[in-house]
Structure 1
Amino acid sequence: MALIVLWDIDHTLIDNAGVSKEIYGAAFEAVAQRRPSGPAVTEGRTDRLIMREMFDRDGLARPGWDTVQAALEAAGSERFEELQRRGSALPGVRDALTALADEPGIISSVLTGNIAPNARLKLAAFELDGLVDLSVGAYGADHLERAALVAVARDRIHRAYAVPAGTPVALVGDTPRDVEAALTSGVQIIAVASGVHAAHALHEAGADVVLPDLINTGVLLSHFSRISGTQS
């Protein structure tokens, strides 16, 4: 089948066990030289937007993005072992990624709000990084809004692979922002109720397909076959 699959990371592929919010808090403190007034609000936001909102909420001037990105990368690197200790790959994820990696014609990458170094780190913590092509993913440094990342990933994939312009795209994610990104960009969404958002909230956001988890690889592959137009 010919298909591009773009995976969200946090709460779709891995459980970060709260380490992500610790990364944002530490990055904020490193730049602002004071603790934030509260935890980061994530829920599918990009790192650019998360950090901007933290500085705005605390009434501080927005620092340059290069400074913020360096602080995020340092905070992530410092917490790699903590992520390994507390977090985990979600059930079924390794089998699902492996199945796609072995499927001819499928390009499997990520569309995530994380900056690229932290995305790689989160997947490497559970030995998932070799199962997707991270070089063509879209990341939280690429744009403020998640929906704009679809075009970024598409462009990188089309430049790296000889795929037809009309190759279908499927996003897999756990938040209404993932659903919005897909619908806004005219691509397919497979929502997974493995994060904080229940299935009904994902349906209400516009997702036709909502899975409870990624345990059933056969069901997942069936949805991908339908999206690619190869299902009999």
Structure 2
Amino acid sequence: MKLIVLWDIDHTLIENAGVSKEIYAAAFSSVTGREPSVPARTEGRTDRLIMRDMFLRDELPVPEWPVIEDALVRAGNDRLGDLRLRGTALPGALEVLKAASARSSWVSSVLTGNIAANAHVKLSAFGLDSLLDLPVGAYGADAELRPDLVAVARERVQRLRGVPADVPAVLVGDTPRDVEAALATGAGIVAVASGLHSPEELAAAGAHEILPDLSDTKSVLSILESFAGHVKRPRTSLDRPRTR
């Protein structure tokens, strides 16, 4: 059965070891000529929101987006070596992406708050980029709010890969914002407690399937397969999250 699988990157597929916040700080400094007063707040936000928040918290005018994006691209490229040295692919990420890419009826891509260039930097640092259909993904420059990225990815999958509009999509991510994006758009959600948020927090956000990480490839694929050909129904009070 056909399926669109959209993976988050940071803390779902990779651990960036603080490099992400260094990228935001460097981009901010490149544009303003000074260090930010406080670190970037991420937690599933898009790059558009993260950077705008940094300027507003420092009481500075928000530059035009192309200026910000150019600075983010430079900062990301400059830190590829740091990411390879300090970061890592998370347990099971390589294996599960290989397995998903082998499913000829699936489209396996990303839905991430990162801009496309930095998403590629992060994935390529650990050899994950070739296992994903990145041109049809949705990225932090495409919209401010994460739920809006789901429609972006769906449109690209339909236009570029000829996938029918009624093919189900499932998000895999580690934050309540990933869960909320799925629930708001009728997509499935597999929550992974490999980031900053506990299984309890992910369940409270509405996640029904919760994994500690992606290390059990067979279990991840089994859950994903359960969404194929399935039109997601609204959750009811009778539903209970399953933590595996």
* TM-score bucket (shorter structure): over 0.9
TM-score (norm 1): 0.98
2:98 is matched with: 98
Matching residue's letter, 1:181? A
Give identity over the alignment, percent.
59
Contact conserved, 2:154 with 2:165, CA < 8 A, in 1? no
- How much does 1:224 deviate? 1.2
- Structure 1, unmatched stretches of 5+, are none
Give 2:102's aligned amino acid.
D
Question: 2:176 aligns to what?
Answer: 176
Stretches of structure 2 lacking an aligned partner (at least 5 in a row): 231-244
Alpha-carbon distance in 2 for matches of 1:24, 1:76: 9
1:85 — aligned with what?
A: 85
Q: Could you tell me which residue of structure 2 aligns to residue 8 of structure 1?
A: 8
Partner SS for 1:6:
strand
For residues 83-106 of structure 1, what are the alpha-carbon distances to aligned partners after superposition, in whole Å with 9 as ceiling and x for unaligned? 000000000000000001111201
> Distance between the aligned counterparts of 1:229 and 1:222, measured in 2?
13
Query: 1:114 corresponds to which residue?
Result: 114
C-alpha separation in 2, matches of 1:25 and 1:59 = 16
Question: Could you say what secondary structure the match of 1:126 adopts?
Answer: coil
Say how many residue pairs are matched.
230
Tell me the distance in 2 between the aligned counterparts of 1:229 and 1:121: 33
For residues 97 and 169 of structure 1, the distance between their equivalents in structure 2, rounded to whole angstroms, comes to: 16
Give the AA of the match of 2:92: G
- The Cα of 1:46 is off from its aligned counterpart by 0.2
> Where does 1:76-225 land on structure 2 (aligned, <5 Å)?
76-225=76-225
- State the alpha-carbon separation in 1 of the partners of residues 27 and 161 from structure 2: 35
Shift of 1:229: 3.8
**How many Å apart are 1:48 and its aligned residue?**
0.2
Aligned partners of 1:26, 1:19: CA distance in 2, in Å? 10
Distance 2:228 2:222 in 1: 10
Instruction: Tell me if structure 1 keeps the 8 A contact 2:112–2:138.
Output: yes
State the Cα deviation string for residues 58-92 of structure 1 (Å, max 9, x = none): 00001010000000000000000000000000000
TM, length-normalised to structure 2: 0.93
Alpha-carbon RMSD: 0.8
Q: Give the Cα–Cα distance (whole angstroms) in 2 for the partners of residues 147 and 118 of structure 1.
A: 20
Which residue identity lines up with residue 8 of structure 2 in the other structure?
D
